[in-house]
């Protein structure tokens, strides 16, 4: 897109005439993907990144490209890298599921207050990383330093902006040209994950239910069995492009890869080797975010130990 403003936080990709994905750049203030859809006079933004610097760029691009103000802003789930940029849109309609809203309201006031009170601690931590940094040899460390520096510069002016509208199962938005449906099938990656489906364009925004060519992140709240169920249901829907929470835009094939990843890790843990000896399988050796693999294995083990059935 020549001539259009370029953000240092994300790469804007035109997926369809009216659908754009904003793919996070490593080490920027975005940290997760977002996007926007022009329904005709009405514009939807899907997720707001990890910082307000990144979401300001998104708002600028969404409004200058569509020539309309953003009407609706979606939070796919409660994780910070999808919602911390909300304040850029605080005078718009910000929508999440009821459970995501409740979780945000419980967690964020104290978390953000604590982070604002410890900017010095973050500064010292960034400095300690810089002290370990050897020029041109440690790209990942440089990304981490840049990511934390963006987070630090967001903190002094960061305001918590909670969603001001909620939905239970689904809500449909209508514009002059087309409609889009925001829906949730419950929690897989997080306690509640929402997706945005644009049937006329055959595009779906999947938040962190989909990671493309990078390790999906599992947490204690993650429900792996239900995650697989959700992905299998989504696979029946009609679309050609699936925008993930992390990684580049994908297809149904990438959805199947996440299902296989969950089942492969479960099978590996079931073999019973000490978990610290479990190595990344060769088919995932090129995937990004390999640092989360060990944590994922631990989460799978904890679930199996609790007697939870995953597959």
Nearest CA to 53 out of 121, 163, 147 is that of 147
Cβ-contact 51, 16 below 8 angstroms: no
Give the DSSP H/E element, type plus range, for residue 294.
Answer: helix 293-305
Minimum Å gap between C-beta 115 and Zn ion is: 18
At residue 257, the 3 state secondary structure works out as: helix
CB of 208 to Zn ion, least distance (A): 4
Nearest distance from C-beta of residue 93 to Zn ion, angstroms: 22
List b or e across 134-164, with b for residues whose CB sees 16 or more CB atoms inside 10 angstroms.
Answer: eeeeeeeebebbbbbbbbbebeeebebbbbe
Sheet holding 203-205, edge to edge: 170-174, 179-184, 194-198, 203-205, 241-243
Q: What Å distances lie between residue 4 and 14, 43, 67, 267, CA to CA?
A: 12, 19, 14, 47
The residues of the shown chain that bind Zn ion, judged by CB under 5 A, are 79, 208
Nearer to Zn ion by Cβ, of 42 and 103: the residue is: 103
The conformation of residue 212, written as its DSSP 8-state character, comes to S
When the beta carbons of 59 and 79 are compared against Zn ion, the nearer one is: 79
CB of 81 to Zn ion, least distance (A): 7
In terms of C-beta density within 10 A (0-12 exposed, 13-18 middle, 19 or more buried), how is residue 186 classed? middle
CA distance 92 to 94: 6
Measure the CA angle with vertex 151, ends 149 and 156; round to 5°: 105
Min dist CB 207 to Zn ion, Å, is: 7
CB-nearer residue toward Zn ion: 79 or 257:
79
CB closer to Zn ion out of 208 and 223: 208
Q: Is the Cβ–Cβ distance between 64 and 5 less than 8 Å?
A: yes
Which of 139, 198, 192 is CA-nearest to residue 166?
A: 192
**Closer Cβ to Zn ion, 42 or 79, answer by number:** 79
| Residue placing its CB nearer to Zn ion in the complex, 71 or 290 | 290
Q: Which is nearer to Zn ion, 68 or 298 (CB)?
A: 298
Q: From the CB of 14, what's the least distance to Zn ion, in Å?
A: 25
Q: What is the spatial distance between Cα 248 and Cα 291, in angstroms, rounded to a whole number?
A: 19
Which of 31, 62 has the CB closer to Zn ion? Answer: 31
For the CB of residue 34, give the shortest distance to Zn ion in the complex, in Å. 13
Kindly state the smallest distance separating residue 78's Cβ from Zn ion, in Å. 8
CA 198, distance to chain mean position in Å, is: 18
């Amino acid at each position: 897109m020549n001539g259009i403003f370029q953000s240092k936080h994300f790469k804007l990709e035109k997926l369809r005439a009216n659908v754009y994905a904003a793919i996070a750049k490593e080490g920027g203030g975005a940290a997760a993907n977002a996007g926007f859809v022009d329904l005709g006079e009405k514009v939807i933004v899907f997720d707001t990144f990890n910082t307000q610097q990144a979401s300001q760029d998104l708002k600028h691009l969404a409004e200058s490209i569509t020539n309309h103000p953003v009407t609706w802003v979606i939070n796919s789930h409660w994780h910070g890298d999808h919602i911390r940029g909300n304040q850029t849109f605080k005078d718009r309609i910000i929508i999440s599921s009821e459970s995501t809203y409740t979780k945000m309201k419980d967690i964020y006031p104290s978390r953000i207050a604590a982070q604002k009170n410890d900017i010095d601690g973050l500064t010292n931590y960034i400095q300690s990383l810089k002290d370990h940094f050897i020029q041109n040899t440690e790209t990942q460390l440089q990304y981490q330093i840049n990511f934390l520096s963006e987070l630090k510069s967001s903190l002094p002016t960061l305001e918590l902006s909670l969603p001001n509208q909620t939905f239970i199962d689904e809500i449909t938005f209508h514009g002059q040209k087309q409609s889009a449906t925001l829906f949730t099938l419950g929690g897989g990656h997080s306690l509640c994950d929402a997706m945005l489906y644009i049937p006329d364009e055959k595009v779906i925004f999947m938040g962190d239910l989909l990671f493309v060519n990078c390790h999906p992140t599992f947490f204690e709240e993650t429900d792996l069995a239900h995650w697989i169920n959700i992905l299998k249901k989504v696979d029946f829907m009609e679309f050609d492009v699936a925008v993930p929470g992390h990684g580049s835009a994908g297809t149904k094939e990438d959805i199947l890869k996440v299902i296989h990843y969950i089942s492969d890790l479960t099978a590996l843990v079931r073999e019973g080797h000490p978990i610290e000896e479990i190595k990344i399988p060769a088919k995932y050796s090129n995937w990004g975010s390999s640092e989360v693999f060990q944590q994922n294995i631990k989460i799978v083990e904890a679930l199996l130990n609790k007697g939870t059935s995953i597959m």
